[in-house]
Amino acid sequence: MDRRAFLTSSAASAAVVSLPWRIAHGRSGWRSFEITTRLDIQRPAGLSRAWIPLPMSGSLDWHRGQGNAWHGNAARAELMRDPKYGVEMLYVEWSASESAPYLELSSRFSTPVRDRSVDLSGPAGGAALSAAERKFFTAPTELIPTDGIVRETAEDIVKGNRGDVGKARAIYEWVVDNSFRDPKVRGCGWGDIKAMLETRNLGGKCGDLNALFVGLARAAGVPARDVYGIRVAPSAHGYKSLGTGSPVISKAQHCRAEFFAPGFGWVPVDPADVRKVVLEEPPGNLPMDDGKVEAARKRLFGSWEMNWLAYNMGHDISLPGSRGPQLPYLMYPNAETGGDRLDQLDPDSFKYVITVRELKA
């Protein structure tokens, strides 16, 4: 099916529906991408369902969602939104009689060519959170408690630091100094920070290390949040470990973090990527005083390279219609067949393939 046929025929069939494409942003300084998820339910055993994360639909100064479209043999597909965090997902359902359930979802979005940066040394503006927002972004989640060992650790780290920026900086440096990237962790890690602190094992991946930053910040009273997404392009900064060089990005999921600085707004940080540079940047196992590590450490407090797509900022996600467990976050496609969850961390047996291409103006 060619692209035009795909877009125009969508409304005609109950089993082929499109969500509206938005007009592409032609402004210079932005790059547009199309990310496609092809999902096949292997060995279907009765009714099958899938929940696929969608790019954030809103427009920010670092992200513009442009819409989604899908085709396949599903009996039902519907855009759904988590009521608490606004996490958007495509819910898909196949009848028990469908012998080879499949779906292909394409989403378009734009990101700025330049890094998303916040200059904390510059003059502060008027950015502020309401009391309700501040409470929301300092609240605990299921795996990110803010009391007990998390609070004790946070209070110890921020001792002597005043203001949210100073506290966030101290926590960022502490996470970078005390954690490590553990390549044996499956996926991105589930971010059970209480367990990490209790066992004194601060190894993990982005889902663990950036959750540690978020939890410690929240426990110290600094509003913070995880941002879940996927890498879509190579790093323009020359870091092999911080980008993807392949159009197949099924395992390129990556979450980041933000904290809120009064006067400046949400500030991007990514201590997990500093530890990724340490472990993976060629030749590997770099010392902390290596120039590449030092540069990344400086850059990743206050900026993100936008070779990455943001899906959402949600925690404790209950998949609509599922009787299975809630998820710490929704960053991978999920599916069930015959009431059994498939392994979201194993795209090859699930199976799903995520590909990306940059759209040329």
Partner 1 sequence: MRARWLLALLAFWVAGAIAGPPKLELEDLDGRVHRLADYRGKVVMVNFWATWCGPCREEMPSLERLRQALEGRPFVVLAVNVAEGGRVAGDYLKTMPHKFTVLLDRDGSLTKAWGARILPATYVLGPEGELRIRHVGALDWASPEAQQKIAALMP
- Answer for the pair 33, 82: CB distance below 8 angstroms, yes or no: no
Residue 352 tokens read as 């799903």
| Smallest separation (angstroms) from partner 1 to the CB of 322 | 9
88 binds partner 1 (CB under 8 A): no
Q: Which of 198, 246, 298, 357 binds partner 1 (CB under 8 A)?
A: 198
Binding mask 322-341 for partner 1 (x = CB under 8 A): -xxx----------xx-xxx
Residues 273-312 that bind partner 1 (CB under 8 A): none
- For the chain, helix (H) and strand (E) counts, in that order, are 9, 18
CA end-to-end span of the chain: 23
190 binds partner 1 (CB under 8 A): yes
| Smallest separation (angstroms) from partner 1 to the CB of 332 | 12
- Using the contact rule CB under 8 A, the part of the chain among 15-23, 168-176, 194-202, 211-219 near partner 1 is 194-202
Indicate the pairing of strand 334-337 with strand 253-261. Answer: unpaired
Q: Output the CA angle 305-243-184, nearest 5 degrees.
A: 120
Binding mask 36-55 for partner 1 (x = CB under 8 A): --------------------
Instruction: Pick the closer one to partner 1 by CB: 98 or 182.
Output: 182
- Residue ranges of E strands in 28-101: 30-40, 48-53, 59-60, 63-72, 76-81, 88-94
- Residue ranges of E strands in the chain: 30-40, 48-53, 59-60, 63-72, 76-81, 88-94, 102-112, 116-117, 180-181, 203-204, 224-231, 253-261, 265-269, 303-304, 308-312, 334-337, 340-341, 352-359
Spatial separation of the C-alpha atoms in residues 359 and 361, rounded to whole Å: 6
241 binds partner 1 (CB under 8 A): no
Instruction: Pick the closer one to partner 1 by CB: 142 or 358.
Output: 142
- Answer for the pair 102, 52: CB distance below 8 angstroms, yes or no: no
- Beta bridge partner(s), residue 253: 230
Spatial separation of the C-alpha atoms in residues 352 and 124, rounded to whole Å: 45
Q: Which of 135, 199, 357, 361 binds partner 1 (CB under 8 A)?
A: 199
Q: Which of 11, 345, 359, 361 binds partner 1 (CB under 8 A)?
A: 345
250 binds partner 1 (CB under 8 A): no
349 binds partner 1 (CB under 8 A): yes
| Smallest separation (angstroms) from partner 1 to the CB of 284 | 20
| Smallest separation (angstroms) from partner 1 to the CB of 83 | 20
List the 253-261 sheet strands across, edge first: 265-269, 253-261, 224-231, 308-312
Binding mask 91-130 for partner 1 (x = CB under 8 A): ----------------------------------------
Residues at the interface with partner 1 (CB under 8 A): 182, 184-187, 190, 192, 194-195, 198-199, 323-325, 336-337, 339-343, 345, 349
